[in-house]
Amino acid sequence: MMQIDVLSLFPEMFEGVLHSSIMKKAQDQQAASFRVTDFRDYSTNKHRKVDDYPYGGGAGMVLKPEPLFAAVESLTSTSESKPRVILMCPQGERFTQKKAEELAQEQHLIFICGHYEGYDERIREHLVTDELSLGDFVLTGGEVASMAMIDSVVRLLPDVLGNDQSAVHDSFSTGMLEHPQYTRPASFNGLDVPAVLLSGNHAEIDKWREEQAFQRTAERRPELLEEAPLTEHQQKLYQQWKRKID
C-alpha cells in the first residue's frame, strides 16, 4: 500500500478531495493511505509561527526550515522505505504523465505545500528529493497542485480504476493524446457515431483509433510527436504529416 503524506498549513482543504471518488476507492481497497499534517504542529514558537522575514530584505515572508525538517523526520521515522519528498514550487520540474507513472512506483510520497513568498533555500537543498510545478503559473499555495498530482498518481495504482486498461490508453500515457470516444445512442440529433466503431471489425477499429490519436495530437500538441513511441502505421502518418508541413 502506498503511503501519501501532505504537509500543509490548511489541511481542511483536502477533506473532500481525499475522501471522494477514486481517492476514497483507493483507500477502501487499501491501495493508498493518506495523511495530512499541519506543519504548524512542528513549530517551536509559542505562536506556532512557521515563517519569517527574508535575510537581506524584500517583500513577503519565507517558510522557516525547522518545522518542515522536523515534520519530515517524524513522518519518516517509521517508514520502511526512503520516501520521495516533493516540494510544490513554480520553479520546479513541470509535472507530466511520465512523472506520475514514475511516482506511482514508490511506496511513500511526502508533498510539501508552501505559502507566502517562498522557502528557505536549505529546504530545497537538503530536505526534498523533487521540486514539481503544475505549470507556468503561480498559485496561492501548493495545496491545489498537490491534489492534482496525488490524483494523477493514485489512479495509476493497481486495481484502483475499474479497468486497468483505462490508464494505459489515457492521453499522454502513450505519448500522444487519446483518440475520440463515443457511446450510445449511435445517432443523436443527426450526429452519427463513425461507422467503423459499429462494424465489429477490431483490426479496423484499432487502425482508426491510431489514426485519430495521431491526427488529434498533430492538430493540438504537435510537439509531442517528436518523442512519442509511434506504431508502424503512425510512423507512416508522421512522415506524411512532416512532408505536408515542411
Q: Which is catalytic among the residues 5, 67, 131, 155? A: 155
pLDDT of residue 168: 58
DSSP of 10-66:
-GGGGHHHHTSHHHHHHHHTTSEEEEEEEGGGG--STT---EEPPTT--SS-EE-HH
Report DSSP state, residue 199: S
The reply to whether 190 sits in an annotated binding site is: no
- Is 83 tagged catalytic? no
CATH architecture of 2-154: 3-Layer(aba) Sandwich (3.40)
Whole-number percent of the chain with pLDDT over 70? 96
- Is 155 tagged catalytic? yes
The reply to whether 156 sits in an annotated binding site is: no
Q: Which is catalytic among the residues 51, 67, 90, 210? A: 90
- Is 11 tagged catalytic? no
The reply to whether 157 sits in an annotated binding site is: no
Please give the CATH topology (third level) of the domain spanning 172-245: Trp Operon Repressor; Chain A (1.10.1270)
* Domain residue ranges in the chain: 2-154, 172-245
- Is 246 tagged catalytic? no
The reply to whether 137 sits in an annotated binding site is: yes
pLDDT tens-digit map of 80-129: 889 999 999 999 999 999 999 999 999 999 999 998 778 999 999 999 99
This prediction's pTM: 0.88
pLDDT tens-digit map of 161-193: 976 656 655 667 788 999 999 999 999 999 999
